[in-house]
Amino acid sequence: MTSLEAIASPAGLADAELSKNVAGSEPLAPARRRGVRSWAWLGLTPFAVYVLIFLALPTVLAIGSGLFDADGAFTFDNLAALGDPVILQTFWNSTWLSLLTAVIGAVLGALVCYAMLGLHETSGVRTTVDAASGVLAQFGGVMLAFAFIATIGIQGVVTQFILSATGINIADGGWLYALPGLILPYIYFQVPLMVITFMPALSALKPQWAEANLTLGGTRLSFWTTIGIPVLAPSFLASLLLLFANAFSSYATAAALASQGSQIVPLGIRTALTSETVLGRENLAGALALGMIVIVGIVMWAYSVVQSRAARWQS
C-alpha cells in the first residue's frame, strides 16, 4: 500500500490521527506562555524581599554611612582612615586568620570527603556525617565559644584534667581569648562546611574515568595526578574561596571569645559603634564595612567564576 493509499483508507486515517496525538499537543500560544512566565516570577518574591531587606539595604547603608560624617556632611575622611596602620593591621589579621583556617579546613574537609567516597550514599556512616556536617557548619557564635571555653579555657575540663595529670597548663597565657585562639573554633565550622560544598564534586567523578585509566595501563596515582586532581581543582578552589569569605565575615564567635579589643575587622566595626574612646567616629564603622564588602565581593566573584568552570563537567 502506498503512502497516499494508506492515508486515504479508514485505517490509514486512524493511524494518522493516532500519530498526531502521540506526537503531542500543539505548543502553548504565545500569550499563554507569557502568562505562565509572569506567574513564575511570583515565587521569587519572598526571596527577593529577603535579599532586599537583609543584604541590599544594609550594603547601601554601610556605603552611605562611610561617606558621611556625624553631622551628615559628605566626606572622604572615613575612607582615608582605612589607610591608618592600626586599621590596616586589623584587615591583615582578618586576612591571615581567614586564609589559614580556610586552607586547614579545606584540606581536612577534602580528606573526610575522600574517606566517605567509598561508602554508599545511603550508608549509615555517610548519612550521619552529612547530617552532622550540616549542623556543625552552622554551630558558631556564643554556643561554640562557650564549648571551647568550657573545654580548653582557663578553667576548662580538659585543661584541668591535663594540669592535674601532667602539670602542664594548656591554657597558659589565655591564648584562647586572643587572636590565635580563634583558629581552632574557626576550623571547627570550616571543616563541616568544606564537606558540604566539596562532597558533591567528589561524588561526581565518573567510575568510567578510572576504568579507562586502568585499561590504558595507568595506576591509581596516575588517575589522581592526570584526571582526578585537575578535574577537582576548580571545585576545591571554589570551596576554599567560600571558606575564606565565611571566616572573614564571621563575627559572633570572635565577639564571644575576644570581648576586648578589635583584632579583626568585624570587631573593629563593633568598637567603632560602641566604644567610648572613639566618640564622633561612628561612621568609621561604615568605612570598615565597606572595606569588608569589597573584599568579600571580590572573593565571591572569583568563587562564581571558578564554580561555573567546575560545573561544566559536573552537569
**Sign of dihedral through CA atoms 143, 149, 151, 157?**
negative
User: How many Cβ atoms are within 10 Å of 261's Cβ, its own excluded?
Assistant: 13
Q: Among 155-169, 172-186, 226-240, 254-268, which stretch is predicted with the lowest mean pLDDT?
A: 254-268
Residue 3 — pLDDT band, cuts 50, 70, 90? very low
Which CATH architecture does the domain made up of 84-314 adopt?
Answer: Orthogonal Bundle (1.10)
The arithmetic mean of pLDDT across residues 103-125, rounded, is 91
> For 189-211, how does the pLDDT look when each residue is reduced to its tens digit (9 = 90+)?
999 999 999 998 888 888 888 88
Q: What pLDDT score does 22 carry?
A: 47
Query: What is the chain's mean pLDDT, rounded?
Result: 82
User: How many Cβ atoms are within 10 Å of 94's Cβ, its own excluded?
Assistant: 25
> For 236-284, how does the pLDDT look when each residue is reduced to its tens digit (9 = 90+)?
999 999 999 999 999 999 998 886 777 899 998 888 888 766 555 667 8
> For 305-315, how does the pLDDT look when each residue is reduced to its tens digit (9 = 90+)?
887 877 776 65
**Sign of dihedral through CA atoms 141, 147, 153, 155?**
positive
Q: What pLDDT score does 101 carry?
A: 97
| Cβ partners under 8 Å of residue 31, min gap 6 | none
Identify the residue whose cell numbers are 586547614.
Answer: 104
> For 62-104, how does the pLDDT look when each residue is reduced to its tens digit (9 = 90+)?
777 777 776 777 777 778 878 889 889 999 999 999 999 999 9
Does position 182 have pLDDT exceeding 80, yes or no? Answer: yes
Please tell me whether residue 68 adopts helix, strand or coil conformation: strand
pTM: 0.79
Q: What pLDDT score does 31 carry?
A: 56
Does position 36 have pLDDT exceeding 60, yes or no? Answer: no
